[in-house]
Amino acid sequence: MGVDFLNSVQGIMLELKSFDKKTVFSVSTTTKQQDSSYLTPVRVCKDFVLAGCVIFDQKNLSDLLREIDGHVDIILSDSEKKIPLDANESNYVLAKNISQSGKVTISSICFHNIKTSHVLEFKPNDLTVNAVWSFLSQQLNYLHGKKVCILGAGNIGSKLALKLSECGAIVSLYRRNTDKGNQIVNGLNLIKSDGGETEIVFYSDPAKASAMADVLIGASSGAPIIDEHMIKKVKRNCLIIDLGKNNLTKEAIKIATQCSMEIFRADVTPAIEAFVYEVLKMQDILKYSCGKRDLGFCNIVSGGYFGGYGDIVVDSIGNPVRILGISQGDGVLKQVLNEKDKNHIQKLKQNFNI
């Protein structure tokens, strides 16, 4: 992370400030290591503007955080441990306090060093899984009965396999390490609902795994895993997704193009934008809506707060507009209201003009 990168970060900070919106900056990493850190595209949404960076070394991470702290409203910090982060001068005390191994995460470093901006954790891998699932769901219209071959059973490939299988997709999974691949598939099938129609199947041969697939997904950490033999095995209208970057050999790309097969890269834009909206909404709920309020004649609760018997569940304890029901005290709403409940609801409506 050199001077040029930090200068680029400064430029992004200025660009974000030019928008009259809430500003968000993500700091993440990937398992596929590269020589230098890079910035992700600026995404302009209705209520916020988002940018970020992907880093591969903790050296000068503190310099990066100084450049962004106070210049954006929210910093999203990667909570997944993908690169070794060891104790150094700037975070030695932190590492000593939170970890016996002396290891830290990007997220813990951010929470320790950021003083002005609001820091929140996020899981980039899960956003990738959600983005690919949503893409396939809309491209295929429905997932039930579609054969999906996933080459690579790491964090992303395994989670995606489970999610697709739970929707009725026929999922075949391949991993170079056969023993670990079998263990992962067995674990995923145990996690699945008992009502699931299909089981995830592990293959030690990637060509057999891809036979007659409707979707072929490369989910390795960067090494080409989809070759021409697999392209020849899938259906003619197969969707091919390069999820891990550089997952297709040149010959595979050539043959797929000749056969008019569509190749896609995983675009996380909808997933990360939706996540930021989720973060902002949760902030709003926790700040203004969540909790319990004593009105004298009864209590009102909202925002997921566990109500006691007879508490009125509303959309917001600060300024209720909608009444959702009466708590039964065990996490569900009453199906039959007594006269006391009805009187409390009527008085609540009068007090807040509901």
| CATH code, domain carrying 259 | 3.40.50.720
Is residue 285 included in any domain, yes or no?
Answer: no
Mean pLDDT estimate for the chain: 89
Average of per-residue pLDDT across 161-181: 95
pLDDT score, position 310: 96
Question: What is the longest distance spanned by two Cα atoms in the chain?
Answer: 75
Residues 118, 161: one domain?
Answer: no
Is the model's pLDDT at 136 over the cut of 80?
A: yes
CA–CA distance, 271 with 31 (Å, rounded to integer): 20
CA–CA distance, 354 with 347 (Å, rounded to integer): 10
Band the pLDDT of 84: cuts 50, 70, 90.
Answer: low
Is residue 103 included in any domain, yes or no?
Answer: yes
Q: What is the pTM of this model?
A: 0.87
Is the model's pLDDT at 269 over the cut of 60?
A: yes
Is residue 284 included in any domain, yes or no?
Answer: no
Is residue 47 included in any domain, yes or no?
Answer: yes
The token pair at 188 is 């995923």
The token pair at 233 is 């095995």
Q: For 228, how many CA atoms within 13 A lie in the half-sphere containing its CB? A: 7
| Identity of the residue numbered 283 | Q
pLDDT score, position 92: 45
Residues 265, 132: one domain?
Answer: yes
CATH number for the domain including 44?
Answer: 3.90.190
| Span 153-168, pLDDT tens digits | 999 999 999 999 999 9
Residues 223, 296: one domain?
Answer: no
Residues 20, 154: one domain?
Answer: no
Residue finishing a domain among 90, 107, 122: 122
Is residue 335 included in any domain, yes or no?
Answer: yes
Residues 132, 263: one domain?
Answer: yes
- Going across the sheet that includes 239-242, the strands are 201-203, 170-174, 147-151, 215-218, 239-242, 263-265
Number of structural domains the chain divides into: 3
The token pair at 266 is 């995983």
Band the pLDDT of 265: cuts 50, 70, 90.
Answer: very high
Residue finishing a domain among 122, 154, 180: 122
Average of per-residue pLDDT across 325-344: 96
If you ran DSSP here, which 8-state letter would residue 82 be given?
Answer: -
Residues 170, 245: one domain?
Answer: yes
Residues 155, 263: one domain?
Answer: yes
Residues 145, 94: one domain?
Answer: no
Of 227, 170, 215, 179, give the one whose Cα is nearest residue 197: 170
Is residue 279 included in any domain, yes or no?
Answer: no
Domain that holds residue 299: 291-352
Residues 135, 254: one domain?
Answer: yes
More confident of the two residues 106 and 71: 71
Residues 6+ apart with CB under 8 A from 202: 153, 172, 173, 174, 175, 181, 182, 184, 185
Residues 172, 61: one domain?
Answer: no
Average of per-residue pLDDT across 103-128: 88
Residue finishing a domain among 92, 122, 152: 122
Is residue 280 included in any domain, yes or no?
Answer: no
Residues 48, 133: one domain?
Answer: no
| Identity of the residue numbered 2 | G
pLDDT score, position 329: 95
Band the pLDDT of 94: cuts 50, 70, 90.
Answer: very low
Residues 235, 131: one domain?
Answer: yes
Is residue 277 included in any domain, yes or no?
Answer: no
